[in-house]
């Protein structure tokens, strides 16, 4: 009896087709997953750019350091309009706002009388005209110009009738005999600039020169913060 192959099962062909279809779909899923990841990253990047553009568009010369010329750029937001004259708000002090002014001193430091000068149309000189009294007063508050002055203190010695010799005491702020020192006011101003306002030493010396006409050395300004007054800036003649 000769052997024979079993008849083919019709389901084998169907199984093969399904396997090929599954393999193809699996490849498509892999490809689509890669595309989805790429598109997700692109969307995230575009959203970041859009948010940055929105923030940039909201900036203008009214709410940032951008120049007014940038207010006309496309997509920009114009600043809020400012109050214009005639819009209901008066210029100057507003009602209810606290005022500030220079008080009128009843006892000024100096009073200067002013008289008309020249001549009258009639030809008479006004220097001989009758004084009718003050018709108006005005006060000006100012600060006198400062200039460094050098004062030499000669300390004398005297002999008492009993024979004892007495020598005059040195003034505060003076250095050793034969030296020149900066006065207490200059020293105090140097300390004020260095300590209270944190002015650099070189600039402090320049400010003192601008105010007094004399420039102390950088070392003199530095020593004023710690040295006794008599030693601050003392130099031999």
Q: How confident is the model at residue 143 (pLDDT cuts 50, 70, 90)?
A: confident
The domain segmentation of the chain, as residue ranges, is: 16-72, 167-236
pLDDT one-digit tens code per residue, 43-87: 998 888 888 877 776 766 666 666 666 666 555 566 666 655 555
Rounded CA-CA distance 22/15 in Å is 10
Give the other-Cβ count within 10 Å of 176's Cβ: 11
Upper half-sphere CA count for residue 110 (Cβ side, 13 Å): 7
């Amino acid at each position: 009896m000769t052997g024979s192959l079993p008849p083919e099962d019709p389901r084998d062909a169907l199984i093969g087709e399904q396997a090929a279809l599954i393999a193809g779909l699996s490849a498509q899923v892999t490809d689509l997953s890669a595309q989805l990841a790429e598109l997700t990253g692109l969307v995230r990047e575009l959203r970041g750019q859009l948010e940055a553009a929105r923030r940039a568009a909201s900036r203008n010369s009214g709410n940032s350091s951008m120049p007014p010329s940038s207010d006309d750029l496309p997509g920009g937001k114009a600043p809020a309009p400012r109050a214009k004259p005639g819009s209901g708000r008066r210029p100057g002090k507003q009602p209810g706002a606290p005022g500030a002014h220079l008080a009128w001193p009843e006892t000024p430091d100096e009073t200067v009388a002013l008289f008309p000068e020249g001549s009258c149309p009639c030809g008479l000189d006004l220097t001989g005209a009758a004084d009718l009294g003050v018709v108006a007063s005005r006060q000006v508050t100012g600060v006198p110009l400062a200039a460094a002055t050098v004062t030499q203190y000669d300390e004398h010695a005297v002999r008492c009738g009993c024979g004892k010799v007495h020598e005059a005491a040195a003034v505060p702020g003076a250095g050793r005999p034969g030296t020149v020192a900066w006065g207490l006011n200059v020293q105090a101003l140097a300390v004020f600039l260095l300590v209270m306002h944190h002015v650099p030493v070189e600039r402090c010396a320049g400010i003192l020169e601008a105010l007094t006409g004399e420039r102390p050395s950088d070392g003199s300004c530095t020593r004023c913060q710690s040295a006794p007054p008599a030693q601050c800036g003392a130099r031999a003649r």
